[in-house]
């Protein structure tokens, strides 16, 4: 059951989809009005929560909880460290209410989750809720794995880096999950809005069989991957979800081990991990030296690079690159993917980069020319910016009436693109390349799923 947390009674009038329950955070309400609470309970499954605050003594809180239970709420939250006798009495006296026995740690992931579970498990309740601050993607995955293997557990990954974990609750067996109504009404760090959970991640259709896909890298905030891939899964009627996981190089080893355990089926890989993932995956594109797509099955990981084919597919919607002179700005992972694919499709390449040596090395592999960013040749047909710098050359180096691709997708119109438009150039936007390379990722994942099931 997904609950939307309401920190104030004024939110009771808001429209909330019928399959979503409400959690009344009564400890945040200015006053406790029993008539108002009773009315809310009649409308939909309601979880009543009255956390410890300075406003009431523990004895007063216990009294309030008993009063609330008389209203027969569908769910009620009891903190696991309340007096054992009180907990036992409430649980046995109010069998019509489903109790959520909750543990919160706003600082860290507890080291001994097993011990915590054992101590919570002595109470016969609907679910053991373990909400802990997860400082990294790997900590969030550890907590999610715990839910997968411990009955009746619902884990909540608090903190921005664990935020993706809030999507995966139904897949690891959570009995309850939480969303906020909007950004302003968040009641816990990293909480997602109801709109995101329902309309982007389709929380209501996730279950234990849902395949997990995602993006790894850093930074990932601007990536539209969750919007694109979840829509694509929906349109293709696939029981799959895609989440964004922030990951650094030194976390990759542990992540790969956890990814296999939790059965992540596929990954998009972005800056700075495209080269590092080569260590983990079998690929036929080793020469490119960078992968942006992984498929994981039966302990085996296969990788491909769709950056190059995505960029070239987008360009060739406008013009063929065969025998055309292409200037590539940058010599990083994306540039490598694009350069190899362009060469394969018959283009003549010039690679220009801030660090000259990298441009020289890449050009040498592809029989191309190289130089620094100030050395843009005057005669070229296509200019491709693969650096994160949205204006890496001066405007007088952009040749009129040529074709320009900037891989940056946010903002859509970079300074480079604006200048190119003024010079009557045809434009391929970063988002067009994004869609093309993402389509190839989906196709790769689907073919991998088919190979597994056959």
Residue numbers of the site for ligand NAP (CB under 6 A)?
Answer: 271-272, 274, 307, 310, 330-335, 353-355, 358, 386-389, 392, 407-409, 430, 433-434, 437
From 104, 260, 369, 418, active-site residue = 104
Nearest-approach distance from CB 59 to ligand NAP, in angstroms: 57
Nearest-approach distance from CB 253 to ligand NAP, in angstroms: 20
- DSSP SS3 for 281: coil
133 vs 272: CA distance, rounded Å: 25
Nearer to ligand NAP, 377 or 388 (CB): 388
Nearest-approach distance from CB 405 to ligand NAP, in angstroms: 9
Sequence-ordered list of residues with C-beta below 8 angstroms from that of 224, at least 6 positions apart, any chain:
409, 410, 431, 434
Nearer to ligand NAP, 154 or 437 (CB): 437
Nearer to ligand NAP, 49 or 334 (CB): 334
Q: Locate 241 and state its tokens.
A: 């979800």
Whether 39 sits among the annotated catalytic residues: the reply is no
Percent of the chain that is helix, strand, coil (3-state, to 5): 40, 20, 35
Contact 301, 280 (CB under 8 A): yes
Contact 176, 129 (CB under 8 A): yes
Contact 81, 102 (CB under 8 A): no
**Residue 429 backbone zone (phi > 0: left; psi -120 to 50: alpha; other: beta):** beta
Nearest-approach distance from CB 120 to ligand NAP, in angstroms: 43
Nearer to ligand NAP, 180 or 335 (CB): 335
- DSSP SS3 for 426: strand
Nearer to ligand NAP, 330 or 368 (CB): 330
Nearest-approach distance from CB 339 to ligand NAP, in angstroms: 11
From 152, 226, 274, 436, active-site residue = 274
Sign of CA dihedral 163, 164, 165, 171: positive
CA contacts within 13 A on the Cβ side of 104? 13
- Backbone phi, then psi, for 407, in 5-degree steps? -70, -15
Q: Locate 122 and state its tokens.
A: 């002595």
Residues in the chain: 454
Q: Locate 136 and state its tokens.
A: 């990294």
Whether 186 sits among the annotated catalytic residues: the reply is no
Nearest-approach distance from CB 440 to ligand NAP, in angstroms: 11
Nearer to ligand NAP, 78 or 382 (CB): 382
Sign of CA dihedral 288, 292, 295, 300: positive
Nearer to ligand NAP, 139 or 432 (CB): 432
Nearest-approach distance from CB 271 to ligand NAP, in angstroms: 4
422 vs 372: CA distance, rounded Å: 25
From 129, 276, 324, 436, active-site residue = 129
How far are the Cα atoms of 51, 75, 119, 124, 294 from residue 84, in angstroms, in the given order? 16, 19, 11, 12, 49
DSSP letter (8 states) at residue 317:
T
Residue nearest to ligand NAP (CB): 332
Whether 89 sits among the annotated catalytic residues: the reply is no
438 vs 293: CA distance, rounded Å: 9
Instruction: Please list the active-site residues.
Output: 104, 129, 274
């Amino acid at each position: 059951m997904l609950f939307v947390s309401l920190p104030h009674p004024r939110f009771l009038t808001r429209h909330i989809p019928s399959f979503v329950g409400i959690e009344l955070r009564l400890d945040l309400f200015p006053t406790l009005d029993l008539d108002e609470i009773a009315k809310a309970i009649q409308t939909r499954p309601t979880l009543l929560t009255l956390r410890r605050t300075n406003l009431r003594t523990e004895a007063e809180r216990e009294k309030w909880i008993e009063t609330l239970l008389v209203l027969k709420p569908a769910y009620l939250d009891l903190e696991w460290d309340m007096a054992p006798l009180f907990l036992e009495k409430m649980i046995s006296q109010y069998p019509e209410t489903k109790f959520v026995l909750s543990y919160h740690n706003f600082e860290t992931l507890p080291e001994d989750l097993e011990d915590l579970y054992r101590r919570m498990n002595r109470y016969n309740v609907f679910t053991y809720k373990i909400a802990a601050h997860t400082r990294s993607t790997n900590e969030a995955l550890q907590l999610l794995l715990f839910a997968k293997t411990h009955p009746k557990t619902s884990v909540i990954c608090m903190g921005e880096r664990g935020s993706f974990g809030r999507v995966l609750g139904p897949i690891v067996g959570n009995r309850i999950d939480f969303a906020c109504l909007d950004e302003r009404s968040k009641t816990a760090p990293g909480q997602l809005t109801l709109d995101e959970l329902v309309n982007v991640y389709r929380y209501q259709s996730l279950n234990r069989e849902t395949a997990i896909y995602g993006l790894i890298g850093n930074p990932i905030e601007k990536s539209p991957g969750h919007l694109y891939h979840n829509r694509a899964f929906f349109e293709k009627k696939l029981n799959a979800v895609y989440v964004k996981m922030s990951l650094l190089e030194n976390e990759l080893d542990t992540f790969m081990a956890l990814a296999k355990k939790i059965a992540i089926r596929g990954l998009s890989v972005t800056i700075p991990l495209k080269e590092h993932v080569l260590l983990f995956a079998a690929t036929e594109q080793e020469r490119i030296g960078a992968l942006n797509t992984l498929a994981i099955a039966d302990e085996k990981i296969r990788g491909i690079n769709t950056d190059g084919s995505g960029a070239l597919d987008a360009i060739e919607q406008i013009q063929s690159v065969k025998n055309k002179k292409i200037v590539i700005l940058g010599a990083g992972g994306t540039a490598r993917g694009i350069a190899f694919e362009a060469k394969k499709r018959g283009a003549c390449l010039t690679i220009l980069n801030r660090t000259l040596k990298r441009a020289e090395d890449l050009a040498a592999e592809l029989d191309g020319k190289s130089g620094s960013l100030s050395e843009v040749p005057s005669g070229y047909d296509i200019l491709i910016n693969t650096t994160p710098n949205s204006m890496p050359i001066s405007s007088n180096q952009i040749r009129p009436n040529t074709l320009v691709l900037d891989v940056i997708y946010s903002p859509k119109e970079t300074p480079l693109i604006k200048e190119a438009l003024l010079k009557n150039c045809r434009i391929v936007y970063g988002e067009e390349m994004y869609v093309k390379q993402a389509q190839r990722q989906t196709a790769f994942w689907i073919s991998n799923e088919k190979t597994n099931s056959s």
